[in-house]
Amino acid sequence: MFYYLMYGIQLIWYGHACFEIRASLNVLIDPFFRGNPKTNVLPEDVEPHVILVTHGHYDHLGDTIEIAQRTGCKVIAVHELAHYLRSQNVMAEGMNIGGRMKVNDISVIMTDANHSSSVSHAGLSLYAGRAAGFILQVNGCSIYHAGDTGLFSDMQLIGDVYRPDIALLPIGGRYTMDPEDAARAVALIRPKIVIPMHYSTFDVIVQDPLDFMKKVVSSCETNVLIMNAGDVLDL
């Protein structure tokens, strides 16, 4: 592992798209634990102050309801998904693309993502708004979690406006960008560090992160950091 001691932040990857950012608050993103073959962590093992959910699919909404009901933490999601979560006795706050919320000293900005979203409930697939990504601004650090997304040209705008220090990008293909398109995304966003996610959790999204690294190195100056599930990165 490489350690970049700059911001007083810890970043933990639990596999798939699930990350925890520990700063003044513990922020958990897309808490998919049960059914996630990349982690032995269980929903009862985490104590977030805030959960961010990029969209309603089961591998991203994951264990949000269970964790939020147990801890009483706040959940932030797109408006329609937040409305559904409130119906499940969760303290959820909605926002939408381009919106900004302040949670203590952490700024949360919702970005676009090129993907679908729905919630499975009582055997039905319910509309859950649109998929999103998040920019977190904390301790002078800008972290971009892209959520599930394909490549789209406004990633360059995200790079220009929010200047992410760290980008967390899916590379699994089929349901999101593959390594080639994700490398193109890196060239648009131009973060200092990119961390691949959302790959090799299931057979249909098996990818070699070293292939992604080679493509990034050949196209831009961003550092690629390949994490293993459970790794803790001190920033």
CB atoms within 10 A of CB 26: 18
Which token pair is 235?
């920033």
Residue 1's pLDDT is 43
CATH number 3.60.15.10 is the correct assignment for the domain at 10-234: yes
0.95 exceeded by the pTM? yes
Helix, strand, or coil here: 221? coil
Q: What letters, b where the CB count within 10 A reaches 16 and e where it falls short, cover 188-205?
A: bbbbbbbbbbbbbbbeeb
Query: For 197-207, how does the pLDDT look when each residue is reduced to its tens digit (9 = 90+)?
Result: 999 999 999 99
Q: What letters, b where the CB count within 10 A reaches 16 and e where it falls short, cover 68-77?
A: beebebbbbb
Looking at the chain, which runs of residues are DSSP E strands? 10-13, 19-22, 26-29, 50-52, 74-78, 92-95, 100-103, 106-112, 118-121, 124-127, 132-138, 141-145, 166-170, 193-197, 223-224, 232-234
pLDDT tens, N- to C-terminus, the chain (235 residues): 444 557 999 999 999 999 999 999 999 999 999 999 999 999 999 999 999 999 999 999 999 999 999 999 999 999 999 999 999 999 999 999 999 999 999 999 999 999 999 999 888 899 999 999 999 999 999 999 999 999 999 999 999 999 999 999 999 999 999 999 999 999 999 999 999 999 999 999 999 999 999 999 999 999 999 999 999 999 9
* Cα–Cα distance measured from residue 223 to residue 33, given in angstroms and rounded to the nearest whole number: 28
Note whether 201 and 38 are within 8 A (CB): yes
Residue with tokens 């301790």: 139
Query: For 128-139, how does the pLDDT look when each residue is reduced to its tens digit (9 = 90+)?
Result: 999 999 999 999
Domain ranges of the chain: 10-234
Residues 6+ apart with CB under 8 A from 124: none
